[in-house]
Amino acid sequence: MKILGYIVTEKKLSGVYGFVKQVTDISDADLTKPTLIVGWNLAKQFDGYNILDRRISENMFWTFTRTENRSILESDLVKFYDFVKNKSISDCKYEFVSIFHIGFGKAKKLVNILNSKNKRNIYISNDILYFMYGETIIGISLVELEYCKINPEKILKRIDENANLKTFSSNDWKIYKLEKFLGNKKYAVPCFIDNK
């Protein structure tokens, strides 16, 4: 998973999503990404600290530890994950490419993307291929390909044979958990997967 946010905490939290990294020191966090400080004593060190608001800056928040106020911690964790999710999705544009509305040249270009030597993750869900192209998530329907006499099995075989391409689906527990978290925005799964 890509690291899209940080939680700074002296005591490890369980059940943290894979796209959020836990660190014990603020210097280990990339502060350009959403960051949640856990603990009243840690939060007091920052300008903008407010006991009522719990938002230190545009990308930085704080919450209580489990022993300070468990219910607020749990509520703030949910809000923080939603913030990271919404920010990450808003940074990516989604474009469904219908084979019926593009010319042969663009279709060939899409196939060439899947044949390139660049590392790329492909998420497959409900007969749609999703992958990142720059900052855009592209969606292509395997059903449309089949309707246009392009054998989806051949496309999937070419993807499997390309060592630079890695496929993901609900069969992977982490992807399944991510799908549940994203709800009706499952198309955004490629935003959360690292190309390593």
Residues 124-170: pLDDT tens digits? Answer: 999 999 998 888 999 999 998 888 787 889 888 888 888 889 999 98
Q: pLDDT > 90: what percent of the chain?
A: 59
Token pair 């719990």 in the structure block, residue = 54
| Average pLDDT score over residue span 2-26 | 94
pLDDT band at 46 (very low <50, low <70, confident <90, very high): confident
Per-position b or e across 132-145, b if 16+ CB within 10 A of its CB: bbeeebbbbbbebb
Which of the four pLDDT bands, split at 50, 70 and 90, describes residue 12?
Answer: very high
Top-ranked range on mean pLDDT: pick from 31-40, 103-112, 150-159, 187-196: 31-40
Handedness of CA 168, 170, 172, 173 (dihedral sign): positive
The number of beta carbons lying within 10 Å of the beta carbon of residue 30 is 14
Nearest CA-CA partner of 166 in 119, 96, 100? 119
- The helix/strand/coil state of 194 is coil
Is the predicted pLDDT of residue 115 greater than 80, yes or no?
Answer: no
Residue 174 sits at the vertex; the CA angle it makes with 171 and 180, to the nearest 5 degrees, is 85
Hey, what are 181's tokens? 């978290």
Per residue in 158-191, pLDDT (tens digit) is: 888 888 899 999 898 889 999 999 999 999 999 9
Q: How many CA atoms lie within 13 A of 14 on its CB side?
A: 0
0.95 exceeded by pTM: no
DSSP three-state, residue 170? coil
pLDDT of residue 86: 94
Angle at 126 between CA 129 and CA 191, to 5 degrees: 45
